[in-house]
Structures are given as structure tokens and as C-alpha cells.
Amino acid sequence: DAKTTQPPSMDCAEGRAANLPCNHSTISGNEYVYWYRQIHSQGPQYIIHGLKNNETNEMASLIITEDRKSSTLILPHATLRDTAVYYCIVRVGGGGADGLTFGKGTHLIIQP
């Protein structure tokens, strides 16, 4: 899987949009961008994934640059419960049963 780079930590005010960046400059054409988060003492939670187009679901939006070398996860109205470590993962599509490679992620802290 291609390597990703994320800032180690970020702060965001409650109610504001949280924008989490991820660089994946060596991404291949058949690799998807996945985002997960892990709230303290819980298992990771899947958020969203995409290949080329921007994606939106009930949790977040994913913006992927045209060259696909970076992406941004957007939480539109952050709440205190969004405080977590957010992981950006790049992997080949097709759902292979070869596991995920988690980096260190970004610790997002939502401030009241």
C-alpha cells in the first residue's frame, strides 16, 4: 500500500468544520483512499472511501485532488464526540483480504 502523511494533531472548535489533510503522493491508479477514526479505547470505525471523485455520506465528505496526490476529510459540524484519531489509508481496490496498514493518524481535538 502507498504511504500516507498526516499531521500528528489538530484542534477545531465545536460547531465548526474540521478539515483533515492527507498526502499520498505515491498513490497508484487502482488504489482507493479510506478514512477511519478511533475514539479512545474503542475499535476503529470506518468513515468513508473514494477513488477519484469526491464522496459524501452521513458522517463526512471526502475531497480528493485531481492528481490524487492528496485528500481532505471534512467533518461539517464537529462535535465533542468527534475527538478521535483519524487514519487515512491507501489501498488497492477489490476488497482483498489482506488487511489494512494503519499509520499514526491525526489526533483531532474538538474544543468546546
Partner 1 sequence: DVKVTQSSRYLVKRTGEKVFLECVQDMDHENMFWYRQDPGLGLRLIYFSYDVKMKEKGDIPEGYSVSREKKERFSLILESASTNQTSMYLCATSMVGNYGYTFGSGTRLTVV
Binding mask 27-66 for partner 1 (x = CB under 8 A): -----x-x-x----xxxxxxx-x-----------------
CA angle 78, 5, 79 (to 5 degrees): 5
Is the Cβ of residue 54 or residue 101 nearer to partner 1 in the bound state?
A: 101
Query: In this structure, what C-alpha cell is assigned to residue 89?
Result: 489509508
CB of 112 vs partner 1, minimal distance in Å? 26
Using the rule CB under 8 A, is 103 a contact of partner 1? Answer: yes
67: left (phi over 0), alpha (psi -120 to 50) or beta: alpha
Amino acid at 79: T
- Segment near partner 1 (CB under 8 A); pick from 2-10, 19-27, 73-81, 98-106: 98-106
Q: What is the DSSP letter of 42?
A: S
Q: What is the DSSP letter of 56?
A: E
Note the residues at the interface with partner 1 (CB under 8 A).
32, 34, 36, 41-47, 49, 93-95, 97-105
